[in-house]
Structure 1
Amino acid sequence: MADVHDSKTRSKNMRAIATRDTAIEQRLARLLTSLGVEFRTQDAALAGRPDFVVDHYRCILFTHGCFWHHHDCHLFKVPATRTEFWMTKIGSNVARDRRDISRLLGEGWRVMVVWECALRGRHRLDDPALETRLEEWLCEGGNYAEIDTRGIHAPQPPVA
């Protein structure tokens, strides 16, 4: 299927996609604030420029867009045009994520990835469910966890 936009319009649309203070980051910030958690955002001194840094618990939280970070969920679709280009780009994002998370874990940080599908869309988790999972992990969780539409789980941390 051909792209519905010409290359100039598509390029303009792609440049307009925000890289910080996105809707999913704003929702996670509201949830952390409602829990009374103090956090910093976008710390460039840390690997991966984490979306949220919770110093009190020595925790890092990333909000990952399901398309850009290749999550196996209903929000990820393989692009119909320039497929090789996009899969290479997304693959490099995934490799960078692995490297950054491995480095942070090696530096003694605890890391959580909150996937976009948990925060928006028809299968998203509601605020009380997200707050409960965030609070459990911040206070008692392990070194690495993810939240998606299935809830919280602790897969093996990615290896760079």
Structure 2
Amino acid sequence: MWNWHLADIVSTEVRRRMMSGIRSKNTKPEMIVRKGLHRLGFRFRLHDKQLPGKPDLVFPKHDSVIFVHGCFWHGHGCHLFKWPKTRPEFWRKKIENNKLRDQRAIDALSQAGWKCLTFWECATKNQPEEQISIELEKVKRWLLNADRNEEIPAR
């Protein structure tokens, strides 16, 4: 059934199917980070439901967690993020709430003694292997030496 209220080029059912296919776990950027860090010798737990925000990677040995965020869904200020033109009120509220939830999780984890790293999708998307390796080396240094929260790439 077509929903003629939205300025969209696909039917409501096709849009619903497309949106339901977007995963929150095991995304391509997350898999790149996981495989790269595993190759560098790090071992970690995945999506720990006991911790605020269910971090994507948990490194108990290093008291550290990593969130791998999609630039669109978490409102990163990079070239991959653009505000949608359809339903702008809905999207602004949705993305702002995501950002608030992210910050609350990081604050709670920090108060509990965890160091938090946010690894953004743009650090991997359309990047050559050499650049991804550089970013993963930054993560390695952070895990081994960090005393504060970080973002890769930084805003």
Relative to the length of structure 1, the TM-score reads 0.88
Question: Which runs of 5 or more structure 1 residues have no equivalent in the other structure?
Answer: 156-160
Listed as ranges, the matches of 1:84-103 within 5 Å are 84-103=89-108
Listed as ranges, the matches of 1:118-157 within 5 Å are 118-122=123-127, 126-148=131-153, 153=154
Question: What is the alpha-carbon distance in structure 2 between the residues aligned to residue 54 and residue 119 of structure 1?
Answer: 21
2:29 alignment counterpart: 24
After TM superposition, the runs of 4+ consecutive aligned structure 1 residues lying more than 6 A away are: none
CA gap of 1:78–1:124, structure 2 versus 1, over 3 A, is farther
The offset of 1:122, in angstroms, is: 4.8
Identity %: 37
Of residues 1, 7, 15, the one that matches 2:12 is 7
Aligned residues: 150
Question: Which runs of 5 or more structure 2 residues have no equivalent in the other structure?
Answer: 1-5
User: What SS class does the counterpart of residue 90 from structure 2 fall into?
Assistant: helix
Q: Of the two, which has the highest radius of gyration?
A: 2
RMSD: 1.8
